Amino acid sequence: MAALKLTPNLDRSGVAWGKRVPDWITMLALKCDESTQEKVGKQLGISGSAVNQALGNVYKGRIDLIEARVRGEYMQAVVTCPVLGEISTRDCIANQTVKFRPTNPLRVALRRACPICPNREKR
């Protein structure tokens, strides 16, 4: 397997995370090197500063939520939703956090299913 060429974000994350850089951090760093931290954050639904802190291993919030977003957006991680079937982890998180508006039966079904779903993010 070929070694990854070090880039600014990949190098920074390697220093911050040590020898055991998680695969999702590597993916996040590569995406940031292709674009910017701000643009990647926007794609993930988080701030650019949260991306920066995750890469630097200093994020004080729930790093598992960033991991789920990265895996869902860039690594095709999926969960089985009781309402929608197989969806990305990013879409699962988004469905849990959207403000409820009873405008269609699907939103109502999600509103009923999400609080008791095994995929629900622990608060």
**Which residues sit opposite 88 in a β-bridge?**
78
Residue 82 sits at φ, ψ, to 5 deg, of -65, -20
Give the per-residue pLDDT at 7: 80
pTM: 0.77
List average pLDDT for each run of 10 residues in the chain, which is 123 residues long.
69 88 95 95 94 96 91 92 91 84 90 89 65
Say which residue the tokens 């500063």 belong to: 49
Domain parsing of the chain, residue ranges: 8-74, 78-116
Cα of 58 vs its chain's centroid, Å: 16
The half-sphere exposure of 10 on its side-chain side, counting CA atoms within 13 A, is: 13
Measured CA to CA, the distance from residue 103 to residue 19 in angstroms comes to 49
